[in-house]
């Protein structure tokens, strides 16, 4: 386990774990960014306010109801269970804060795009 992964896990609010468990959880936690990042790129390229709103709503959902996070539920059902890997638990507070912050930026960008303030959308 690299120091980078260990620091990431601490910043996300997860307790210290053995190296194997930490690496497995790290890979699982990157499931959501692997899906959201390409969608954000598409939203940027298309300047799609509705897509930013949808992404913001999903991230807000993850923050307010962490045990019903659709990304973690999908991962647990279709990746973790069939392969016998440990399931993801609801996100700790620091991870939820990061998701909430991302949701706020996405909703701000969407509002700027709806108002046709393209420069401000890039600032967000």
Residue 124's pLDDT is 65
Rounded to an integer, what distance in angstroms lies between the CA atom of residue 2 and that of residue 93?
Answer: 23
Tens digit of pLDDT for each residue in 72-98?
A: 999 999 999 999 988 898 999 999 999
Give per-residue pLDDT as tens, 51-64. Answer: 999 999 999 999 99
Q: pTM, whole model, 2 decimals?
A: 0.84
pLDDT for 3 equals 81
Q: Which residue's entry shows tokens 């936690």? A: 29
Coil vs helix vs strand at 87? coil
Distance (Å, rounded) from C-alpha 88 to C-alpha 6?
17
Residues 6+ apart with CB under 8 A from 27: none
């Amino acid at each position: 386990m690299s120091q980078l992964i260990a620091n990431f896990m601490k910043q996300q609010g997860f307790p210290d774990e053995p190296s194997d468990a930490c690496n497995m959880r790290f890979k699982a936690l990157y499931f959501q960014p692997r899906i959201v990042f390409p969608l954000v790129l598409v939203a940027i390229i298309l300047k799609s306010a509705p897509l930013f709103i949808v992404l913001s709503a999903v991230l807000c959902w993850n923050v307010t109801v962490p045990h019903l996070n659709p990304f973690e539920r999908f991962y647990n059902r279709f990746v973790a269970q069939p392969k016998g890997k440990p399931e993801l638990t609801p996100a700790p507070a620091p991870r939820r804060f990061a998701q909430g912050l991302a949701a706020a930026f996405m909703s701000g960008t969407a509002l700027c795009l709806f108002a046709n303030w393209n420069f401000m959308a890039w600032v967000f």
